[in-house]
Amino acid sequence: MSGGVDSSVAACLLRQEGHEVIGVFMRHGQETETACSTSTLSPRKQGCCSAADAADARRVADSLGLPFYVINFQREFGQIVDYFVTQYTSGRTPNPCIVCNNWVKFGKLFEYADSIGAQYVATGHYARLKRQDDGQIALCRARDDSKDQTYVLFGIKREVLSRLMFPIGDYRKDEIRRMATDFGLRVAEKPDSQEICFIPDQDHARFIRQRPDRVDTSGDIVTTKGEMVGKHDGYEQFTIGQRKGLKIAFGEPRYVLRIEPDTRRVVIGQREELARSELIASGANWLVKEDTLGPGMQCQVKIRYRGPAVPAIVEPSGLDRFRVKFLEPCYGVAPGQAAVCYQGHQLLGGGWIE
């Protein structure tokens, strides 16, 4: 229970169905003054793990008569922060929400569930679980496609699917808010959490610059021909495909094509230079049986959370790596982000773009 409307309604639905529900809030220990002082219903609401969020979650649990516990995952979240910083300073674009799901929400949280004898772990994610004809559990996109969160769930281990519940996956967001009102929840109109919970103001570059172990990442902005056209004060503020914030006037748009941590250069160019016909991903996690992964598997692949799933051919290489060949050029392929594979609504698995 994060204190938001989605997990609060999920708890209500489970209780309504007759389950014995225990509320759990994950404390990350990375709170800032901004996060702790944010009003419950503030339009600037960003995080999902602040002191105000914990208070909201506890009030919902109390209203439902649920036991409620706050678990300190400060050490685990510290590792996520380290990953976040290391990725950016390596010239990659991290996705800490996926890592949090892999390590904490669907990792450490299961250890806690086992310690208290809980059968299931339920969250307020927009996703669905469906039992197939062969008895296997499939992870599928949410009914509300605009809120679907399966992209950040690709790292869930297949063996825990039978112990998961996503109570709100069959509802649209407007339905969830109406249900929250009907349940009498004061979080009914609470704004959705945005981006990264341990950076409430979403200034990634500032967060990294304030780290005591920060290294100098400033350098030149250059064209593909090597011509220097500007300076930057840290390449961690850029990602592949970025157009805004370059602070360079060309008369026509320019995009970040490449980040070179060794030379500290950011390479920019025209949109057509962003086109990629294929990518390599590592750290693969498959939610379907390995024998269903053919050498030239036709599916759809997403390379960013808000992006579309585009037609592609996926060629697994062992169980850890795979190659994606796009049927049409794909733009903005960013190392460090996830490549997630679908067949229709079913999530097959994914990996990290190399």
Task: Answer yes or no: 197 catalytic.
Answer: yes
For 169, what's the count of Cα atoms within 13 Å in the CB-facing half-sphere? 18
Query: Catalytic one among 12, 49, 97, 100?
Result: 100
Please say whether the beta carbons of 192 and 21 come within 8 A. Answer: no
Q: How far apart are CA 85 and CA 216, in angstroms?
A: 13
Residue 327's SS3 state is strand
Query: Catalytic one among 12, 48, 49, 197?
Result: 197
Q: How far apart are CA 8 and CA 176, in angstroms?
A: 10
Query: Which residue, chain included where needed, has tokens 């500032």?
Result: 206
Tokens of 37: 């002082």
In this structure, is the dihedral angle defined by the CA atoms of residues 288, 289, 290 and 293, taken in order, positive or negative? negative
Q: How is 94-163 classified by DSSP, letter by letter?
A: --HHHHHIIIIIIIIHHHHHHHTT-S-EE---SEEEEE-TTS-EEEEE-SSGGG--GGGGTTS-GGGGGG
Q: How far apart are CA 284 and CA 290, in angstroms?
A: 11
Task: Answer yes or no: 100 catalytic.
Answer: yes
Q: How far is CA 208 from CA 138, 187, 205, 237, 267, in A?
A: 38, 32, 5, 9, 21
Helices (H) and strands (E) in the chain, counts: 8, 16
Length of the chain: 354
134, burial (CB in 10 Å: exposed 0-12, middle 13-18, buried 19+)? exposed
**Angle, in degrees to the nearest 10, between helices 173-182 and 5-16:** 60
- Which of 41, 17, 59, 149 is CA-nearest to residue 95? 149
The set of catalytic residues is 100, 197
